[in-house]
């Protein structure tokens, strides 16, 4: 019955640290999703628990869910990233919808 019953597709984001230039543009656009670590590279982090802080996901290829209110900021990060290392994909089929491998 119309748009109200349509489900929003869940998406996740990951960073290829081998291509990350450490510019930090992603962390400026979406600080709740991206953070620079001590090595100067960007990593993703899942949504923070209520009253807590999210843990940085530093394993290669680690993906974090993208909360719907932050999706535009994450997409802008992928578009503006000079290293072209941010990959946004659908959770259901792992197809990249934004980033260097998007069709």
Alpha carbon distances (Å) from 17 to 14, 47, 49, 92: 9, 20, 25, 24
Q: How confident is the model at residue 7 (pLDDT cuts 50, 70, 90)?
A: low
Residues 6+ apart with CB under 8 A from 35: 27, 42, 43, 45, 56
Number of domains composing the chain: 1
Give DSSP secondary structure letters for 18-42.
TT-----HHHHH-TTTEEE-TTS-E
Dihedral angle at the C-alpha atoms of 31, 34, 35, 41, nearest 10 degrees?
-140
Strand, coil or helix: what is 76? Answer: helix
Distance (Å, rounded) from C-alpha 17 to C-alpha 100?
Answer: 14
CATH number at residue 57: 3.30.70.20
**Residue 39 located in a structural domain:** yes
**Residue 103 located in a structural domain:** no
**Residue 42 located in a structural domain:** yes
Q: What is the structure's pLDDT at 71?
A: 97
Q: Is the pTM of this model over 0.95?
A: no
Residue 23 lies in domain: 3-98
Residue 3 has pLDDT above 50, yes or no: no
51-98 pLDDT per residue, tens: 888 899 999 999 999 999 999 999 999 999 999 999 999 999 999 999
25-59 pLDDT per residue, tens: 999 999 999 999 999 999 999 998 888 888 999 99
Q: What are phi and psi of 2, to 5 degrees?
A: 75, -175
Strand, coil or helix: what is 44? Answer: strand
């Amino acid at each position: 019955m119309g748009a109200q019953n349509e489900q929003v597709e869940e998406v996740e984001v990951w960073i290829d640290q081998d291509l990350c230039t450490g510019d930090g543009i992603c962390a400026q656009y979406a600080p709740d999703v991206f953070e620079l670590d001590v090595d100067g590279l960007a990593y993703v982090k899942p949504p923070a628990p209520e009253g807590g802080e999210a843990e940085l996901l530093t394993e290669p290829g680690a993906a974090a869910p993208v909360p719907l209110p932050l999706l535009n900021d994450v997409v802008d990060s992928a578009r503006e990233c000079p290293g072209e290392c941010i990959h946004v994909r659908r959770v259901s089929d792992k197809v990249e919808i934004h980033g260097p491998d998007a069709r």
